[in-house]
Amino acid sequence: MSTKEKGVKDRILETAVRLFQTQGYGNTGINQIIQESQTAKASFYDYYPSKDLLGKAYIEFYGKEQLILLDKLRSRSETAKEFILAWTQILRRQTRKSEFAGCPMANTVAQIASNSPSISEEVKKISERTISYLADFLKQMQKKGQVPKAADTQSLARKVFACYEGVLQIWKLTGKVSALDDLPEMVDSIIKSSGKK
């Protein structure tokens, strides 16, 4: 792909990311993306023959960004508690931005129902990758003695991910940013109880 072609494709995706995050996947039409990305209709369809394929690219983009963020947090955190507190601070910062509407995966899946298998599959893949990433991190913390030895880190990672998704949904439902502050306490409680039978 030439630099010019890559530029057009990136511009379309950047525009779609912005619009899907601010308006929602279901409320954003292809014509609006074409107009705001200043792309010819034929060029748009050359890169994204359907809205579903663009939606899948959006979720892939989000997944990569999420893992880059988690990597940064992981490299700066000595403990699981520091990691979760830093993640919470990022979420609080994001809520101050008018374009942040919560987890793009959860929002998109809620809007498409089961009408788009390609998007649903991509969401599952990114969710599983995130949970595996968290499990790996928790296993490292387990070796440092910060997670109980008897804890199943895969199960624990699913619970941490559920807490993350849950606080974002409560924030969206109530409009109260303080809901995000529950994340560190919830995760700490789950970690402490994870070695008990």
Per-residue pLDDT of the chain (197 residues; tens, 9 = 90+): 555 566 899 999 999 999 998 888 888 999 999 999 999 999 999 999 999 999 999 999 999 999 999 999 999 999 999 999 999 999 999 888 766 778 888 888 888 866 788 898 999 999 999 999 999 999 999 999 999 999 999 999 999 999 999 999 999 899 899 999 999 999 999 999 987 75
Q: CA 94: distance to chain centroid? A: 12
Distances (CA, A) of 116 to 27, 41, 108, 112, 191: 15, 22, 10, 6, 36
Contact assessment for residue 83 and residue 125, using Cβ atoms and an 8 Å cutoff: no
Tokens of 148: 């109980």
Identify whether 84 is part of a domain: yes
Any domain includes 151: yes
Total domain count for the chain?
1
- Look up the domain containing 134 and give its range: 59-194
Q: What pLDDT sits at residue 100?
A: 75
Instruction: Tell me if 28 is assigned to some domain.
Output: no
Helices (H) and strands (E) in the chain, counts: 9, 0
- Length reported for the chain: 197
- Return the residue matching tokens 């955190």: 77
Q: Is the residue at 110 inside a domain?
A: yes
156-192: b or e for each residue (b if 16 or more CB lie within 10 Å)?
Answer: bbbbbbebbeebbbebbeeeeeebbbebbebbeebbe
Q: 143 lies in a domain?
A: yes
Task: Enter the pTM of the model.
Answer: 0.87
User: Cα separations (Å) of 74 from 13, 35, 69, 78?
Assistant: 28, 39, 9, 8
DSSP 147-176: S-TT--HHHHHHHHHHHHHHHHHHHHHH--
Q: Within a domain: residue 52?
A: no
pLDDT on residue 17: 93
What is residue 124's predicted lDDT score, i.e. its pLDDT?
93
* pLDDT for residue 171: 93
User: What is the pLDDT, as a whole number, of residue 113?
Assistant: 63
| 159 assigned to some structural domain | yes
d(CA 15, CA 117) in angstroms, rounded, equals 23
Residue 10, pLDDT score: 92
In a domain, 42, yes or no: no
Which of these, 91, 99, 120, lies nearest to 108 by C-alpha position?
Answer: 120
Confidence (pLDDT) at 106: 87
Q: Give the CATH number of the domain where residue 88 resides.
A: 1.10.357.10
